[in-house]
Amino acid sequence: MLAPQVTARHADRRYARPSMTSGLSSRAQRVASALAGALAPVTEQSPETPDSVAFTPRLDGFIARLPWPERYGVRAFFALVNMAPILTFFGARTFLGMTGPDQARFMARCAESRLLPLRVLAKFSLFLCMPAFYADPGIRERIGDRTQGLIPATSRTFPVEVGEQVVAGGEEVLEVDVVIVGSGAGGAPLAKELAERGLRVVVLEAGGYRPAHTFPALAFDALSELYRDAGVTVTVGAPPVIVPVGKLVGGTTVINSGTCFRIPEFVHAKWVANYGMPDAISAESLAPIYERVEELISVRPVPQEILGANNDIARIGATAKGWSHGYLPRNEKGCAGSNRCAFGCPTDGKQAMHLTYLPAAVEAGARVISGAKVTKITWDGDRATGVVAKVNGGKTLRVKAFSTVVAAGTFYTPMLLRKNGVRHRNLGRRLTLHPALKASALFPGQDFYALPAVPQSYYVDEFQQRGVMMEGAHLPPDMGCVALPGKGPEHQALMERSREISTFGFLVSDEPAGRVHRGIDGRPFVRYDITPGDHQKMLFGLKRLCELFAAAGAEEVYLPTWKLPILPGDADFEAEIDKADIKPADLELAAFHPLGTCGFGPDAETFPLDTDLKVRGREGLFVADGSIFPSSLAVNPQLSIMAMATRLAWHLDETVL
């Protein structure tokens, strides 16, 4: 049974939404509203206007929650849009000075332009405006979406302390055995394992605590409330890549798809061949740890009854092609198939860290403190002695510890280490992301919004060792709208049939070529370019994905590139994609698994960490998050992060403390 469709009860202060000021000026609001009208024009089937669906206040609220650099950047973008018709010689009027039909024609011209800046303007306009437009409950109900409003009246909770309440005066000092920075897939298992061994453990989390009954009713709102920087962490490169990560108690495990794969044996073999990795990191050595983690978080293949019609298309297509495929293993217990995994499970079915490891850690005596941003590692010579964190109100929390573990994530961990004097030539480098592409296809008469369904419940691993792993990628309309091609009426027509449009995707095992720098306001500046080898994997994956849809009976296929947005289901996909000459900058990418910026390995010149996850050249300082891996994993990493954190806990208990 699905979660009851009721409004969440008023939450206490720990769960309150952030206060907001206006995100946009009145002129920017008018530009945004005009853009939405041009991108989703009124038709007989779609009579809604931006004003009739409260588009402007919804978008303004989202922009208000952005970090200040992005907020001002969005304001500048809307100013640029307003002047763009004059700057591009489309006419002598600003965008606001044009008629509605002229605005629509201008945006269509930008979307089809061979000039990258104009295409970016059109795509970014769609990315900014359409989710806020299609988040309207009335539109979603008319389209056929059933995922909105799934908020339980109650949910499971556990004791989480709030940083500003822990610090009684201007400063508070805690003394523990182990301090852990971060509460996600690395920090949470470590806390439980150590606390159950009788050690004094404190976990510091910069984000807040959000049990299920406080999750937003709309996926659109979940971006700004549950994701770091409102889900707009973006790499700089060709092309830019969106990398959504969580910022809350439980980390990204609260808002991911729940997929749990072990590191494939062929990846372990590459580690041995390329880096001389010891037997202690082999698949055989890690197997008992994996088994322990899988039992604790209830990993099992998705039951067929909640597979969902969207993922069943992949099963049908892969079977017809004779490709290797199967039901995804996920950490779930009692999943109701509400299709909301990436926006906060409304039924507590997905066994994320805030429902499993962290409550067990607290029960064993650990403390979890939210709203505590660690800014400093303290030292006695080369030995880490703890951390300093800032809490709301400018108060200071100092934690003295025998061992310090940084589990702040692949972007923030290397920045924190570098800021505090740790030096290694590859610290912050060798970043991999698992860049992902998705495509969609039209299957007339189907209803892919029907529930129960899991958004990511099936995989095709036929081409995994060639660097392409296919997995489900179904989204509600307010998020899925940005992936569909077309301009104005064409895009609107596809949205009207979105319940008949299946979506599937693939991730690429990429080369360790990215890097993380400290950017504005202490946030990560991520430089990442697609290498020629990874580009070829993407084109290969697109061809195979199109073939998968065609084998399942697709009428049309929609590709994530302006050069080839639509192909008929009986097209020669190999020839068409080759003929289109698709460059990396022509693709629309996302990524969900940042890894590698503090890699472990036996070679001290290559890796900042040794194989026990200790920071080289330092004592008492360890890392336990996605940054530790020496290369791409070819699969979703959360299970392996948990396993490596468990291994570290056993090592600390036996040899350090």
Active site (catalytic) residues: 593
Cβ-in-10-Å burial (0-12, 13-18, 19+) of 113 comes to: middle
Which has the closest alpha carbon to 649: 257, 274, 232, 198? Answer: 198
Residue 55 near residue 131 (C-beta atoms within 8 A): no
Beta strands 161-162 and 367-370: pairing type?
A: parallel
Of the chain, the end-to-end C-alpha distance in Å amounts to 47
Question: What single DSSP character describes residue 656?
Answer: I
Query: 436 - beta bridge partners?
Result: 507, 590
SS3 (DSSP) at 577: helix
SS3 (DSSP) at 578: helix
Distance CA 608, CA 181 (A): 18
Distance CA 402, CA 404 (A): 7
Cα 569 from chain centre: 30
Distance CA 244, CA 258 (A): 15
Q: Which two tokens stand for residue 130?
A: 């359409």
Residue 353 near residue 184 (C-beta atoms within 8 A): yes
Beta strands 299-301 and 329-331: pairing type?
A: antiparallel
Residue 229 near residue 519 (C-beta atoms within 8 A): no
Strands of 250-358, DSSP E = 299-301, 325-327, 329-331
Q: Which two tokens stand for residue 580?
A: 């289109």
Q: At what angle do helices 26-39 and 68-87 cross, to 10 degrees?
A: 60
φ, ψ of residue 59 to 5 degrees: the values are: -65, -40
SS3 (DSSP) at 649: helix
Listed in sequence order, the residues at least 6 apart from 625 whose beta carbon sits closer than 8 Å to its beta carbon are 182, 184, 185, 186, 187, 406, 407, 408, 409, 410, 413, 641
Q: Which two tokens stand for residue 113?
A: 């332009």
Which has the closest alpha carbon to 55: 20, 31, 19? Answer: 31
Number of other residues whose CB lies within 10 A of the CB of residue 578: 12
Distance CA 550, CA 507 (A): 20
Residues counted in the chain: 657
Task: Write b or e for each residue in 629-657: b if 16 or more Cβ atoms lie within 10 A of its Cβ, otherwise e.
Answer: bbbbbbbbbbbbbbbbbbbbbebbbeebe
CA atoms within 13 A on the CB side of 644: 32
Residue 245 near residue 408 (C-beta atoms within 8 A): no
